[in-house]
Chains A and B, each alone.
Chain A
Amino acid sequence: MEPELEPPQLQFRSAEMGCAFDDFHGLISTPQVTGGSSFTALLELAPPQAVELLVTEDFPAKQPPPPPIFPTDIGLIHRASKFSVFASADNSMESNTILSVSNSIPVKQEELDADSRRNSSSPAGSDQSLKSGKRKEREKKLKESNKKSKSKAANDDGEELPYVHVRARRGQATDSHSLAERARREKINARMKLLQELVPGCNKISGTAMVLDEIINHVQALQRQVEFLSMRLAAVSPGIDFDLDSLFTVNGSSNDNSYSGIFAPPICTEGQLDGARQLQLQQLWHCDELHQSVWARETDTSNFIAPANSLLSYDSTSANSGKQVAPRCTTS
């Protein structure tokens, strides 16, 4: 299988020296280990920043580094990737980063974003899968430099790994194009699987087109439902102002009791309430607590749109005590 190799730091060390490599042994024999910062800390940084950080750490005498000159020799890169550390599961993430950082060959951006997100969202899962022996799929041969630039990958919300690494499986073509396609396909298939689980009834369907059909139908159905529900809400909504107490009274009987407790506090603690409205709400609650029956008697919804405004003026004059507002509303 893949030969067990020296820790990835060596490789990175040699790469970021920036000198041209004629011999692969130059990669192996470079001694250094990075200083205090671990490579996992580098995972937080975007690759160019990470490279800069490391370069400045190790060569303080140098000027603030120009973008380091990485080997562009394809053959060397292929050899390097072949012999790099793929075997150990624990180091896989780090070696991914290191390889990526050290070899900064442009990769397609969507692959980076998608894979970075996937890597970030399932770090434990990927570790386990690695340990379970799926090493073949982890590393990718380095791409040719004529792929699209990945400059946007650094700007994206990629505090995770920015590079994709897929290993060529046994018996498959190792052409970089097919590798790229295969990596892309794998990403797409992984997403499709997630979607299939989400959309009911998609598990049995096979074939991308059919699954996409189902997904489209599902999204359209959900949007139609939202539209329909919003129409119904619009019909009911004029009576919303006084309905806080109705929510309290009704919720005693409904099965979603968890809702009742939270309707009062979150609305009150919303930061966007201005003073008058907050006063109004508090007034409603005060009245509700003290005179719930009185409040419940005021059932006419149309009367409550005007009194809402009068409530505001009324509150501005009176203190925020538990006064009985209901009788005042009925007179207006």
Chain B
Amino acid sequence: MAESSNSRKRRKIDPDSQTRIQPETGPTRWRTQAEQQIYSSKLIDALRHVRRGGHGGVRDAADRVLAASARGRTRWSRAILTNRLSLRLAQINRKHKKAARPSAGKSRPRKPAKKLPPVESKVKVLSRLVPGCRKVSLPNLLEETTDYIAALEMQVKAMTFLTGLLNAGAAAPA
């Protein structure tokens, strides 16, 4: 009857969803070799465009490429990609105007609140570490952290490989 048709439809959807969902979403996608290769090649390409000097230029490029590989599914990746614009504006403003630091919005007067629960304070620290996750609820924050850690590990692996490669490439012919 309708029940059986529902269960049949359910079973039909399930293998599809399984194959579709598992490799694409979830933090396990960062583990695949293919993802690392894609990231490495994109990183090399992005490094050509890095402007000369500027502290942390390579770091920002690496993070941006990493966020781009996330395909916009996670909050931290979207935050990294959108932060670039605001940061760039801030840098320009700082250079040109040398305005007073816009600390009014950031560090509001720290009223002593009852932030005793140690778990709560750690959660806040963690939310500051993960980009774009300051006002995110705890379960979402944990999920973002999972993906972020997996992505960071992949980034470290890829960059290690690249530096080794480039160092060997530069050293061998010389």
Question: Which of A's residues lie within 8 Å of B, judged by CB?
Answer: 7, 9, 33-34, 38-41, 90-91, 93-94, 110-111, 113-114, 117, 120-121, 123-124, 127, 157, 184, 187-188, 191-192, 194-195, 198-199, 208-209, 212-213, 215-216, 218-220, 222-223, 225-227, 229-234, 236-237, 239-241, 243, 246-247, 249-251, 254, 256, 258-259, 262-263, 266-267, 270, 272, 296-297, 299, 301
* Contact between B119 and A91, CB atoms less than 8 A apart: no
Closest residue of chain A to B144 (Cβ to Cβ) is A191
Question: Which of B's residues lie within 8 Å of A, judged by CB?
Answer: 1-3, 5-7, 9-10, 13-14, 17-18, 21-22, 25-27, 33, 37-38, 40-42, 44-45, 47-48, 50, 56-59, 62-63, 73, 118-119, 122-123, 125-126, 129-130, 137-140, 142-143, 145-146, 148-150, 152-153, 155-156, 159-163, 165-170, 172-174
Q: Which residues of A contact B143 (CB under 8 A)?
A: 114, 117, 191
* Contact between B123 and A212, CB atoms less than 8 A apart: yes
* Contact between A262 and B41, CB atoms less than 8 A apart: yes
* Contact between B126 and A216, CB atoms less than 8 A apart: yes
* Contact between B44 and A240, CB atoms less than 8 A apart: yes
Q: Which residues of B contact A213 (CB under 8 A)?
A: 122
Closest-CB distance, A122 to chain B (whole angstroms) = 9
* Contact between A229 and B167, CB atoms less than 8 A apart: no
Given contacts A123-B14, A192-B142, A219-B152, contact A198 B27 (CB under 8 A): yes
Q: Which of A34, A111, A124, A230 contacts B2 (CB 8 A)?
A: A34
* Contact between A38 and B145, CB atoms less than 8 A apart: no
Q: Which residues of B contact A218 (CB under 8 A)?
A: 149
Interface centre among B9, B37, B62, B169 (most CB of A within 10 A): B169
A199 vs B149: C-alpha distance when bound (angstroms): 8
Q: Which residues of B contact A194 (CB under 8 A)?
A: 27, 142, 146
Q: Which of B9, B25, B148 contacts A38 (CB 8 A)?
A: B9
Q: Which of B25, B37, B156 contacts A222 (CB 8 A)?
A: B156
* Contact between B163 and A188, CB atoms less than 8 A apart: no
Q: Which residues of A contact B146 (CB under 8 A)?
A: 191, 194-195, 198
Besides A195-B142, A215-B126, 7 new A-B residue pairs in contact (Cβ under 8 A), listed by A number: A187-B139, A199-B149, A215-B149, A229-B156, A234-B50, A234-B58, A236-B170
Q: Which residues of A contact B162 (CB under 8 A)?
A: 233
* Contact between A237 and B156, CB atoms less than 8 A apart: no
Closest-CB distance, A225 to chain B (whole angstroms) = 5
* Contact between B45 and A296, CB atoms less than 8 A apart: no
* Contact between A212 and B170, CB atoms less than 8 A apart: no
Q: Which of B18, B150, B166 contacts A237 (CB 8 A)?
A: B166
* Contact between B6 and A39, CB atoms less than 8 A apart: yes
Given contacts A226-B159, A301-B170, contact A209 B119 (CB under 8 A): yes
A312 vs B169: C-alpha distance when bound (angstroms): 23
* Contact between A256 and B161, CB atoms less than 8 A apart: yes
Q: List 30 A-B contacts (CB under 8 A).
A: A9-B2, A34-B2, A38-B2, A40-B6, A90-B10, A91-B6, A110-B140, A114-B143, A121-B21, A123-B14, A124-B18, A187-B139, A188-B142, A208-B119, A213-B122, A218-B149, A219-B129, A226-B155, A230-B59, A230-B159, A237-B166, A240-B166, A243-B166, A246-B169, A250-B169, A259-B165, A266-B38, A267-B44, A299-B173, A301-B170
Q: Which residues of A contact B150 (CB under 8 A)?
A: 198
* Contact between A227 and B59, CB atoms less than 8 A apart: yes
Q: Which residues of B contact A246 (CB under 8 A)?
A: 166, 168-170, 172-173
* Contact between A113 and B173, CB atoms less than 8 A apart: no
* Contact between A93 and B10, CB atoms less than 8 A apart: yes
Q: Which residues of A contact B44 (CB under 8 A)?
A: 240, 263, 267
Closest residue of chain B to A264 (Cβ to Cβ) is B41
A117 vs B48: C-alpha distance when bound (angstroms): 38
Closest-CB distance, B12 to chain A (whole angstroms) = 9
Closest-CB distance, A87 to chain B (whole angstroms) = 13
Q: Which residues of B contact A209 (CB under 8 A)?
A: 118-119, 122
A184 vs B170: C-alpha distance when bound (angstroms): 54
Closest-CB distance, B60 to chain A (whole angstroms) = 8
Q: Which of A198, A231, A241, A247 contacts B149 (CB 8 A)?
A: A198
A249 vs B48: C-alpha distance when bound (angstroms): 20
Closest-CB distance, B139 to chain A (whole angstroms) = 4
* Contact between B130 and A219, CB atoms less than 8 A apart: yes
A223 vs B173: C-alpha distance when bound (angstroms): 32
* Contact between B163 and A229, CB atoms less than 8 A apart: yes
Closest residue of chain B to A212 (Cβ to Cβ) is B122
Closest residue of chain B to A111 (Cβ to Cβ) is B139
